[in-house]
């Protein structure tokens, strides 16, 4: 599967949030969120967790926060292409 297919399978929407931080908010498809989160938690390093609701994670040079509601906030991502690459690595 290529990066685009993987992203399409798991992701409902990507929002580029406004604000100086330039964060990306990734919303998983409702019926795929548990599978997506399990894959991510298997590959990324858990730096911190709050009651298994919030997970502060790192993957390579990237840090991000995963929410049990099926949302991820990526910080300091250069652009959507970079985001797609990280997501496809994590979800493969």
Distance, in Å, from the CA atom of 34 to the CA atom of 74, rounded to the nearest integer, reads 18
* Cα radius of gyration (the chain): 12
Tokens of 87: 């997501």
Q: In the complex, what is the shortest distance from the CB of residue 21 to other proteins, in angstroms, rounded to a whole number?
A: 5
Q: Which is nearer to other proteins, 58 or 69 (CB)?
A: 69
Q: In the complex, what is the shortest distance from the CB of residue 22 to other proteins, in angstroms, rounded to a whole number?
A: 9
Q: In the complex, what is the shortest distance from the CB of residue 20 to other proteins, in angstroms, rounded to a whole number?
A: 4
Q: What is the DSSP string of 26-55?
A: EEE-GGGHHHHHHHHHHHSEEEEEETTTEE
* Candidate residues 65, 82, 88, 89; the one interacting with other proteins per rule CB under 8 A: 65
Chain contacts with other proteins (rule: CB under 8 A): 17-21, 23, 25, 50-51, 53-54, 65, 67-69, 71, 73, 75
């Amino acid at each position: 599967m290529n990066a685009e297919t993987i992203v399409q399978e798991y992701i409902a929407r990507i929002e580029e949030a406004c604000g100086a931080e330039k964060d990306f908010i990734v919303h998983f498809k409702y019926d795929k969120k548990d599978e997506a989160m399990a894959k991510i938690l298997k590959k990324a390093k858990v730096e911190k967790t709050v009651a298994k609701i919030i997970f502060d994670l790192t993957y390579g040079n990237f840090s991000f926060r995963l929410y049990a509601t099926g949302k991820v906030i990526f910080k300091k991502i250069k652009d959507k292409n970079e985001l797609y690459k990280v997501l496809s690595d994590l979800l493969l």
